[in-house]
Amino acid sequence: VRTAREAVTGMLETTHWQRHLGQWRDFLRTVDEHATDSDHSRAAVAAALERVREALKTALAADEDHAWHRFRISVKELRYVTDALGDDDDLVKTCKKLQTLLGDWHDTVVQLNLLDELPGAPVHDRLADIITGRKSDFLSRTRKLLIGHPVFDPEGSAES
């Protein structure tokens, strides 16, 4: 009986897996080239920023949980892309602040959903009011952080 290690080693030595590993090495080499290409890096940040601006426009117009959640996810993407490229420490810091506020906001959305699933209790309405107030506060603080911030201009008129 062959051991699991021998079975895996035998599988990796097949033509199929050797070809697949070669393709994987080619992919990794391409990724490395793109990561060091400043034009590609700028394009990645610009694309992430455009997604943030579009998501923000939608969130501000619709003012509903799903739209704010999409904005939250786009901010996370922008932060990770910008942070990985080491391009803009101020933008990364602002994204971190937004992620904290929007993460706290999202927690209140989840809390309200969980509260709705519980059987009614005398304290239910009071808890819903408290959580709804916190939810509104987090979005208000998010909006204040965005006001006058050129990078997050939903009209896209600012350059990053």
* pLDDT (tens digit per residue) in 68-120: 999 999 999 999 998 888 868 889 999 999 999 999 999 999 999 999 998 88
Mean pLDDT of 140-153: 88
| Residue 1 or 33, more confident | 33
Q: 72 lies in a domain?
A: yes
Asked if 15 and 69 sit in the same domain, the reply is no
Asked if 5 and 84 sit in the same domain, the reply is no
Q: 160 lies in a domain?
A: no
* Residue 156 confidence (pLDDT): 47
Predicted model pTM: 0.72
Q: 104 lies in a domain?
A: yes
Q: 21 lies in a domain?
A: yes
Q: 106 lies in a domain?
A: yes
Q: What's the rounded Cα separation, in Å, for the pair 118 and 125?
A: 12
Q: 159 lies in a domain?
A: no
Residue with the two structure tokens 């810091």: 93
Residues 6+ apart with CB under 8 A from 136: none
Q: What's the rounded Cα separation, in Å, for the pair 51 and 70?
A: 9
Contact 59, 73 (CB under 8 A): no
Indicate the number of domains in the chain: 2
